Structure 1
């Protein structure tokens, strides 16, 4: 199995439904017919190449506590500095640049709304920028995935 073939099969099979067990990478390898080291090497290669940003769960926000989408209007010359500051919080599970006045967007998840408010206040204090706070009012489950392998 070539590294490219393994990457495609890995992404196809595990875009959804990562194994919930003590050794998930071993379970993934078993399902793909390879060894755990190959899975880990493949994931590392995808991350280094910029193809994969993270492997991990996405929680239903109402079960995890509280969640909000936030944005900052960051001067271009400070974008990397402010993004690095935002990413220091373990509560941030997405952080990305956009071409817009509000050019840095991130998702915060925490135990309760007060916790999120504290983080937003800290970020405002530390950066001098006022976060745009956009809590979800209605949930829409998209569950998006893309097939990479063709099936007959």
Structure 2
């Protein structure tokens, strides 16, 4: 029987450095670099702007996403570390946010997928990332599947 080990992750410092540099690339290029739309069988990247739950300040983060009709779907995974990502905690407190995609920006409202919808969207992500279940098993709590629904300006 094969040994069922979780997929190997790079060191935490590497993950944090990579995403810091990615955010900087998006910022200095005005979003022209570092943001892309998903292609069949692949995810894209977006820049999410939330309002800090404690500070009330604007907070930006770059996330992977897939499309589900008009909705954008991401995972609240924090680089597979145990704590919930700050952007997800901010959205739980204040669900209205802004999403910047390659070439466009629009307001969204966030919510966690539940039940059959969560299962369906998790399966979509599993089809893209074969190691998803092994990575998610590293976290002490279930990884939230976050839906960003378009809202009127």
Fold similarity call, TM over 0.5: no
Task: Select the structure that is richer in strand.
Answer: 2
Task: Select the structure that is richer in helix.
Answer: 1
TM-score (norm 1): 0.24
The structure with the largest alpha-carbon Rg is 1
TM-score (norm 2): 0.24
